[in-house]
Structure 1
Amino acid sequence: MAKEKKQPRPKAEAPKGFRDYFGAEVAERNEMLATIAGVYSRYGFDPLETSAVETLEALGKYLPDVDRPHAGVFAWQEEEGGDWLALRYDMTAPLARVAAQFRNDLPNPYRRYTMGPVWRNEKPGPGRFRQFYQCDADTVGAASVAADAEICAMLADTLEAVGIPRGDYIVRVNNRKVLNGVLEVAGLAGDDKEEARGIVLRAIDKLDKFGADGVRLLLGKGRLDESGDFTEGAGLSDEQADVIMAFMDARRTDGPATVARLSQLVAGSAIGADGVAELEQIADLLAAQGYGPDRIIIDPSVVRGLGYYTGPVYEAELTFEITDEKGRPRQFGSVAGGGRYDDLVKRFTGQEVPATGVSIGVDRLLAALRAKGRIGGTMEGPVVVTVMDRDRMADYQSMASELRAAGIRAEVYLGNPKNFGNQLKYADKRQSPVAIIQGSDEAARGVVQIKDLVLGAKLAEEATLEEWKSQPAQTEVSRSDLVAEVRAILDRHA
């Protein structure tokens, strides 16, 4: 009888493009989400939580890569002949479905914010994952560009609230109508030019990555990168490419000058003129609220890759330098973006429903703060109550309970208590600030030993013998003073 083949053990590793998050990373993200939610709430937005799964039909085909419709999402069919379902690739498409489904119950305009993970079935790379967090705010039902100006102002306020000071970021604003006007002037209007327009949009969106020369190649025959991969271009003539490149170079020293230049470039295009007028109105509204060019600017190079934008688009960029994995200085880049999408809800209702919103890439924003040393990437562990006598576990649990009741994180050591040194090693690994020690002798005298682990570590590294003696890291206090003494130590290190 043939020997049954042994099944190999599964690999203990996350799928490619996914990762796990531990302790400080989760705590820092939660704190950031709470801060962002606070700003959104002050602006009058209400929370909404939608399903992570939508029908593929409801999500639509709006990811940037038009050559692979639906290939950018994780999708599956429920059963043969049944609906196709997919994990959401952003938070906006689900909102459009909600706005249509509950249109008779929701206020109009409807202002909502939401936060959570989204999934994209794209090629992963350094710092690029298939699952990432977004934090969105949208206004559905407001046609006025005052809603767009408000989103831009709120985005600037949010960045400052989470720890990005003025001068380290800029919110850049453009309008898809202006770009559509430029495309019309360049001879790219009409359904038969849809594929070329898509390539042009993606080319403009890669200005920061490839530079003007690289974009010019993508507007023409195509671009060959360093690895030998060739990207097909839009096939524009030199004259057509000149029009697009002039649009990308239209930014001037101030908003009015930029608007004047854009007016020249879209001369003869009605939709382009509408877009320029909207940009001018947004600039006026922001200036009236005190949001000057140190925070928000008009910038024609902003395109945004998603295909559903119909009007103003905006992007928040961090302007400070960081060092990449090869030690080279570079700017951190975009951490948020959004725009107006007046046709998205119309897919469900048949009626145009104006909408605008912004999405913050929370993971990128956290990475930026870590790169600047503005968050530490560590978190303080709980107070650890050590176990000296197995038969006195109830006493130790009582100590931990008292500390928790006072709002102090605390736990009892639940491993093998035989080796006391291992308990202190555990507390160190947990980054605990304090360890509580009480053997039978201390219990009989009604006292506890409190070990200040933060001070102990500092003294071990820096202190002389005299300093060690004058600042003992371990003290004995009355059992009744346990909570007060631990609180005092935590306050000293706060």
Structure 2
Amino acid sequence: MAKDKKQPRPKAETPKGFRDYFGQDVTERRDMLDRIAQVYHRHGFDPLETSAVETVEALGKFLPDVDRPNAGVFAWQEEAVPGGGTAGDWLALRYDLTAPLARVAAQYRNDLPSPYRRFAMGPVWRNEKPGPGRFRQFYQCDADTVGSASVAADAEICGMLADALEAVGIDRGDYLVRINNRKVLNGVLEAAQVREDQAEDVLRQIDKFDKVGREGVLALLTTGRLDDSGARIDGVGLSEAQAGPVLAFLEAKGADNAATLDNLSAAVGGSAIGAEGVDELRQIATMLAAMGVAEDRAVIDPAVVRGLGYYTGPVFEAELTFEILDEKGRKRQFGSVAGGGRYDGLVERFTGQKVPATGVSIGVDRLLAALRAKGLAGAEVAGPVVVTVMDRDRMSDYQSMAADLRAAGIRAEVYLGNPKNFGNQLKYADKRGAPVAIIQGGDEAERGVVQVKDLILGAKIAAEASVEEWKSQPAQTEVARADLVAEVRRIIG
């Protein structure tokens, strides 16, 4: 009888575009998100956790790639499974936290308060080509107000975003929330007599203002320009006169909000929609000042043009202004860590009624990288106190020690490997980052004492101290069993 062929062993590797997060990474992210959540909670926002899976129908136009149905998301078709959905239905992993909010706001519209204020934090999935720093699973952190057309909601989001950045440790002066308005740009396009079929091209070109400057954008709006490689980039085809209001919009930033708003009023000319946008920005500036959010924290800035193709009113982004060294040792500003704005159509496709909404999304991984760059995260996280095992028949005694430490709020564990080699237990404690090891053999047990080994001090002594210093600062002390908790607390501070 032929033997079955041996199945090949699976490869122990993560799929491309995915990664694993270990203790310190998870702890740092959780701590950062907890601080942000506290700020959102204080502002009256409620947490929301939605299913990781949505119907493709519910995602609808929010799909990342509308030209390729179901592309950009991880989607599959339902089979006839007992208790499952209808066979043939398409389901997908959520690709952001906004599309699920649209479904929730429509599904529970008779039960939720209006406006509905929620924040959400969790993983999302994109079925896109991975690359350096670009993963197919990542975290998002959103806060949105659904059902309010008042720009007070936008002002509150901006002020709350500034509070959140400070709550995680970004100093005032190291960040700036910058605010603009799509309606102002619509007014500028109207003043420039830009045709509807040219509008999207104009948006794309002004988005390059930071990169190519005034003259570069002027060329892109009119006759075109050569890029760095010498290739020809076609222009939109505006005249220089038409490009004038657009450039005036991009260069409208003044010495303060009042000057900027005056310049924007001039840029929109006689456009009614443009004037409405300027007025909304004026209201936001006034409300931020009333909230105690000064212009060194949040400011009107027409240079914020990213996302203007999507948002319908105020737009904002949070930029970190401190410098870091890039991979080539060059100084550069850290850049944007959050963005958002006002958008329509969130719930309309479910209910047929327009429901105004505004919100912000913080780039979790990017903000955490910024904290590490500032030395506010990335420090070694202390591991648990390790209770070593000298006699496996006395495991209950060791578990009792660990339980006493935990009851006092001290992280602790009993070594559960093979206790035969004591050196391996100390190596384990070192790998765990343990600050202290507890040792009690039969002799110590009879005398009612334990040995408390300060592993941090021991490592320091081994690396730096002289023999005399080593004798005067022993890293291992003997204390009564009843004093174990007090001694450990003294060592770990």
TM beyond 0.5: yes
Match of 2:123 in 1: 117
Matches within 5 A, 1:279-298: 279-298=281-300
* Counterpart contact for 1:320–1:332, Cα < 8 Å: yes
- Secondary structure (helix, strand or coil) at the match of 2:390 reads coil
How far apart are residue 122 of structure 1 and its match? Answer: 3.3
Match of 1:237 in 2: 238
Range that drifts further, 364-373 or 268-277? 268-277
AA matched with 1:477: V
How far apart are residue 303 of structure 1 and its match? Answer: 2.8
Q: Which residue of 474, 480, 484 corresponds with 2:476?
A: 474
Match of 2:106 in 1: 100
Range that drifts further, 202-211 or 266-275? 202-211
How far apart are residue 392 of structure 1 and its match? Answer: 1.8
Match of 1:47 in 2: 47
Q: Does 1:389 align with 2:381?
A: no
Q: Which residue of 180, 192, 213 corresponds with 1:186?
A: 192
Superimposed CA distance per residue, residues 355-398 of structure 1 (whole angstroms, 9 cap, x where no aligned partner) = 11111112111100101111234211000011112222222122
Q: Does 1:142 align with 2:148?
A: yes
Measure the CA separation in 2 of the matches of 1:264 and 1:70: 45
Match of 1:28 in 2: 28
- Secondary structure (helix, strand or coil) at the match of 2:130 reads coil
Range that drifts further, 65-74 or 96-105? 65-74
Match of 1:91 in 2: 97
With over 3 angstroms needed to count, the CA separation of the structure-2 counterparts of 1:221 and 1:3, relative to structure 1, is farther
- Secondary structure (helix, strand or coil) at the match of 2:61 reads coil
Superimposed CA distance per residue, residues 169-203 of structure 1 (whole angstroms, 9 cap, x where no aligned partner) = 0000001111222233334454xx2xx53444344
With over 3 angstroms needed to count, the CA separation of the structure-2 counterparts of 1:225 and 1:404, relative to structure 1, is farther
Measure the CA separation in 1 of the matches of 2:485 and 2:466: 30
- Secondary structure (helix, strand or coil) at the match of 1:380 reads coil
AA matched with 1:14: T
Measure the CA separation in 2 of the matches of 1:407 and 1:32: 21
Measure the CA separation in 2 of the matches of 1:88 and 1:445: 61
- Secondary structure (helix, strand or coil) at the match of 1:373 reads coil
Aligned residues: 486
Matches within 5 A, 1:360-399: 360-399=362-401
Q: Does 1:15 align with 2:19?
A: no
Measure the CA separation in 2 of the matches of 1:273 and 1:68: 38
AA matched with 1:362: V
Measure the CA separation in 2 of the matches of 1:65 and 1:238: 33
Measure the CA separation in 2 of the matches of 1:59 and 1:284: 37
* Counterpart contact for 2:398–2:414, Cα < 8 Å: yes
With over 3 angstroms needed to count, the CA separation of the structure-2 counterparts of 1:83 and 1:272, relative to structure 1, is farther
With over 3 angstroms needed to count, the CA separation of the structure-2 counterparts of 1:415 and 1:184, relative to structure 1, is same
Q: Does 1:37 align with 2:37?
A: yes
Measure the CA separation in 2 of the matches of 1:358 and 1:322: 25
Measure the CA separation in 2 of the matches of 1:206 and 1:121: 27
When the two chains are superposed, the root-mean-square deviation of aligned CA atoms in Å is: 2.8
How far apart are residue 297 of structure 1 and its match? Answer: 0.8
Match of 1:151 in 2: 157
AA matched with 2:296: D
Superimposed CA distance per residue, residues 49-105 of structure 1 (whole angstroms, 9 cap, x where no aligned partner) = 111222233224347777667533333333598333222222222112111111111
Matches within 5 A, 1:323-338: 323-338=325-340
AA matched with 2:314: P
Give identity over the alignment, percent: 76
- Secondary structure (helix, strand or coil) at the match of 2:39 reads helix
* Counterpart contact for 2:202–2:236, Cα < 8 Å: no
Measure the CA separation in 2 of the matches of 1:348 and 1:84: 17
Measure the CA separation in 2 of the matches of 1:83 and 1:212: 51
* Counterpart contact for 1:380–1:431, Cα < 8 Å: yes
Measure the CA separation in 2 of the matches of 1:122 and 1:105: 36
Measure the CA separation in 2 of the matches of 1:293 and 1:448: 59
AA matched with 2:287: L
* Counterpart contact for 2:45–2:118, Cα < 8 Å: yes
Measure the CA separation in 1 of the matches of 2:264 and 2:6: 69
* Counterpart contact for 1:139–1:147, Cα < 8 Å: yes
AA matched with 1:169: Y
How far apart are residue 328 of structure 1 and its match? Answer: 1.5
- Secondary structure (helix, strand or coil) at the match of 2:160 reads helix
* Counterpart contact for 2:203–2:309, Cα < 8 Å: no
Q: Which residue of 117, 128, 132 corresponds with 1:126?
A: 132
Q: Does 1:162 align with 2:168?
A: yes
* Counterpart contact for 1:388–1:420, Cα < 8 Å: yes
* Counterpart contact for 1:64–1:307, Cα < 8 Å: no
Measure the CA separation in 2 of the matches of 1:55 and 1:391: 56
AA matched with 2:238: S
* Counterpart contact for 2:435–2:454, Cα < 8 Å: yes
Range that drifts further, 73-82 or 90-99? 73-82
Match of 1:353 in 2: 355
Query: Normalised by the size of structure 1, how large is the TM-score?
Result: 0.90
- Secondary structure (helix, strand or coil) at the match of 1:425 reads helix
Match of 2:83 in 1: none
- Secondary structure (helix, strand or coil) at the match of 1:293 reads coil
AA matched with 1:402: D
Measure the CA separation in 2 of the matches of 1:183 and 1:120: 34
Match of 1:432 in 2: 434
Unaligned runs of at least 5 residues, structure 1: none
- Secondary structure (helix, strand or coil) at the match of 2:287 reads helix
AA matched with 2:438: I
* Counterpart contact for 1:207–1:215, Cα < 8 Å: yes
Measure the CA separation in 2 of the matches of 1:11 and 1:211: 50
Measure the CA separation in 1 of the matches of 2:134 and 2:450: 50
Query: Normalised by the size of structure 2, how large is the TM-score?
Result: 0.90
Range that drifts further, 106-115 or 68-77? 68-77
* Counterpart contact for 1:315–1:337, Cα < 8 Å: yes
With over 3 angstroms needed to count, the CA separation of the structure-2 counterparts of 1:267 and 1:213, relative to structure 1, is closer
- Secondary structure (helix, strand or coil) at the match of 1:61 reads helix
